[in-house]
Structure 1
Amino acid sequence: MHTTPTRLVAGALTLRPWSPKDSAGLVELYRDEALRRWTSEAVHDEAGAARWVTAQQRGWEAGDRLAFAVEETLGETPAEKRAPGTAARLVGNVVLKYPARGSGSAEVGYWTAAHARGRGVAPRALTALTDWAFTAFAPEGLTRLELLHQVDNVASCRVAEKAGFLLTGTLPAAPPAFPLDGHAHVRRAPTAA
């Protein structure tokens, strides 16, 4: 089981586990109405953000929810070449939800900050997470990742397609948590194609 927090680099993006120092920035990101609409978590203040970050850290400890803060290096220097301490800005979140060990399947999720939308951040971060997951969890038999979203979230469909997730079907609504039908997208490990 791979539960040691990991850093991933994808060009100017760095994916790293969430930390308490992210709480203030998280509150700022959650002021975005669109982000609140598409996510199930509610972060209204720094105390709520701290609880959310703690929950992400517990996910790493348990090995069932591996969430990464997505940072973008400010400027043109790719993350892997920047000097320590160089400014970076929070631009999103990606997560691997791996509840059923040995099933060969897991779920991924993501969100993008308002200031980072439309620049390919979500597909790049999701691709980095997906590639890492298939490599890190290959010994456990991971061969399939699912991405689920509401049918009216057209932007999520585009992100899924750009990250190599194929639309495989529509899921029925399950109120109150899922008030509308949903799309199911799947990406298979390269060797499991």
Structure 2
Amino acid sequence: MLIESRASDTSPALILRPWCADDLDALLAAYRDPVLRRWTRVPVTNAAEGRRWLDRTRQDWTDGRRYSLAVLEGATDDPRLVANVVLKGAAPERPAAEVGYWTAVWARGRGIAPRAVTALSRWAFDRFPRLERLDLLHQVDNVASCRVAQKSGYVFQEVLPARPPFPLDGHRHTLTVR
């Protein structure tokens, strides 16, 4: 399964596809970033943790629990990992699901996260016809995620109280089927 976010005059195309074992080195490189590690719950600090993370993403696809996609940029013969997007809690009978993402340090500030979140959102509404709403959640101090939500068409809904594992209140942004 591939999702393509078309290139514009100033930015190359993005390819979203399920993670695979060959992504281990790129995953480890992305997780060397302390900012990424701050906002993610599952640590990936070595090859064993990286393999477990990749195995879990594949098992989640098989189980239909989560759909994690590697986001690649560049030529199809030598693409570079730039982000991860994930659809959580989607099921044929459920009206709502959650979208999450992270962006590699070398790809931040170039509009990759909003493009990838938008592509994932379109795919989710197409794949799950009963899906009516997607939520994007982030801690209140994650200003960059607030901007990504807005640029992706998600509308701020409410402040959520802190709950483990998140120490601070959060924002809930939503995108509804049009």
Query: How would you bin the TM-score normalised by the shorter chain?
Result: over 0.9
Cα deviation, residue 43, structure 1: 0.2
Question: Could you tell me which amino acid in structure 2 is paired with residue 152 of structure 1?
Answer: D
State the alpha-carbon separation in 2 of the partners of residues 13 and 187 from structure 1: 21
Change in Cα spacing, 1:19 to 1:146, as seen in structure 2 (3 Å) is same
1:117-159, CA deviations, whole angstroms, 9 ceiling, x for partnerless residues? Answer: 0000000000000001101101xx1010001000000000000
Q: TM (normalized to structure 1)?
A: 0.87
Secondary structure in 1 aligned to 2:51? helix
Q: CA deviation at 1:41?
A: 1.2
Identity within the alignment, %:
52
RMSD: 1.1
Instruction: Give the equivalent residue in structure 2 for 1:22.
Output: 23
Amino acid at match of 2:150: E
CA distance in 2, matches of 1:10, 1:73: 12
Runs of 5+ unmatched residues, structure 1 = 1-5, 75-81
Other-structure match for 2:146 = 157
Question: Which residue in 2 is equivalent to 1:89?
Answer: 80
1:122 to 2:113 alignment: yes
How far residue 64 of structure 1 moved from its aligned partner, in angstroms, is 1.1
1:113 equivalent in alignment to 2:108: no
1:184 aligns with 2:175: no
**How far apart are residue 114 of structure 1 and its match?**
0.2
Displacement of 1:18: 0.3
Partner-residue secondary structure (3-state), 1:130:
helix
Distance in 2 between the 1:101 and 1:39 partners?
27
Extract structure 1 runs of 4+ deviating beyond 6 A.
Answer: none
Alignment of structure 1 residues 1-193 onto 2, 5 Å = 6-11=1-6, 12-74=13-75, 82=76, 86-98=77-89, 101-138=92-129, 141-175=130-164, 177-190=165-178
Amino acid at match of 2:21: P
State how many pairs are aligned. Answer: 172
Give 1:174 shift: 1.1
Counterpart residue identity of residue 49, structure 2: G
The 10-residue stretch of structure 1 (33-42 or 95-104) with the greater mean CA deviation from structure 2: 95-104
Superposition deviation, residue 52 in structure 1: 0.1
Structure 2: which amino acid aligns with 1:50? R
Post-superposition CA distance 1:75-125 (Å, at most 9, x none)? xxxxxxx5xxx1110001000012565230000100000000000000000
Q: Does structure 1 conserve the Cα–Cα contact (< 8 Å) formed by 2:64 and 2:91?
A: no
Specify every segment of 5 or more residues in structure 2 that has no aligned partner in the other structure, as ranges: 7-12
Match of 2:9 in 1: none
